[in-house]
């Protein structure tokens, strides 16, 4: 699994194993199947832009190729969220009752629910840019019976915003020599930066839960006993 995830950061490996069509499947799986929460959607989209920039198709203008893949990948993300919404609507109660496994943790659903309740419909858009949360946000939306039309609207906007921003960034920077030489560092930054708000919230949340126990000296205990 680790080797597979590492290969997804290698443009040459991607082109040799299904090309950008494998990207369509991974984006669908990460946004639609709860077992796909570990997939690296952000970095994969950036690499997809690099691949498009460096892959010339005979008789096809580069911009046309870019728009074609932007539409396909955005549609895969939209379809994935619809599947997640349907899954949450039909299986929500069952999910909350099942035991945790290495693939499924109820805490992920709780985090997504909390994020959704605070941000409302905009959570569907913002969740696209947060690893793990983007997998469970549509499931939670289905569990709480969010209005389907409203969900569909935010789903479409969020998918296009996520895909277009990251793929276009990779496309524009794909031929830059510095980017090619530091691709692994850039990918690491793409993965870590969106997680920072989540990590900060977790750290602050743990600090708030810590109870401060006052230190009482022996003299204070003895004095208290005498008073009693």
pLDDT, one tens digit per residue, over 62-95 is 788 899 999 999 999 999 999 999 998 888 767 6
Looking at residue 167, its pLDDT comes to 94
3-state helix, strand, coil in the chain (%, to 5): 80, 0, 20
pLDDT value of residue 163:
96
Count of structural domains, the chain: 1
CB–CB of 6/39 below 8 Å? no
Q: What is the mean pLDDT of each run of 10 residues along the chain (228 residues)?
A: 75 84 92 82 90 78 88 96 91 71 67 69 84 85 84 94 94 79 77 68 56 46 53
Q: What is the DSSP letter of 39?
A: S
Contact (Cβ atoms closer than 8 angstroms) between residue 77 and residue 28: yes
Note the residue count of the chain. Answer: 228
Does residue 141 sit in helix, strand or coil?
helix
Domain that holds residue 118: 2-227
Q: Which two tokens stand for residue 136?
A: 């469970």
Instruction: Give the span between the Cα atoms of 6 and 13, in whole angstroms.
Output: 10
What's the pLDDT at 150? 87
- Residue linked to tokens 């789903």: 155
Residue 54 has a pLDDT of: 82
Q: Specify the pLDDT at position 146.
A: 82
């Amino acid at each position: 699994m680790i080797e597979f995830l590492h290969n997804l950061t290698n443009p040459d490996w991607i082109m040799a194993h299904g090309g950008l069509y494998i990207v369509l499947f991974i984006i669908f799986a990460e946004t639609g199947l709860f077992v796909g929460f570990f997939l690296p959607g952000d970095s994969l989209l950036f690499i997809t832009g690099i691949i498009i920039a460096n892959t010339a198709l005979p008789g096809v203008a580069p911009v046309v190729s870019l728009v074609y893949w932007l539409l396909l990948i955005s549609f895969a993300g939209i379809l994935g969220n619809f599947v997640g919404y349907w899954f949450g609507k039909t299986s929500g109660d069952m999910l909350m009752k099942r035991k945790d496994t290495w693939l499924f943790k109820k805490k992920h659903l709780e985090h997504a629910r909390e994020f959704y309740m605070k941000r409302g419909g905009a959570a569907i858009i913002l969740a696209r840019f947060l690893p793990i949360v983007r997998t469970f946000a549509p499931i939670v939306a289905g569990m709480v019976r969010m209005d389907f039309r409203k969900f569909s609207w935010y789903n479409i906007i969020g998918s296009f915003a996520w895909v277009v921003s990251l793929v276009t960034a990779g496309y524009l920077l794909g031929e830059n020599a510095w980017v090619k030489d530091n691709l692994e560092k850039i990918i690491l930054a793409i993965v870590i930066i969106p997680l920072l708000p989540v990590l900060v919230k977790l750290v602050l949340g743990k600090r708030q839960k810590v109870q401060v126990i006052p230190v009482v000296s022996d003299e204070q205990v003895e004095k208290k006993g005498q008073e009693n």
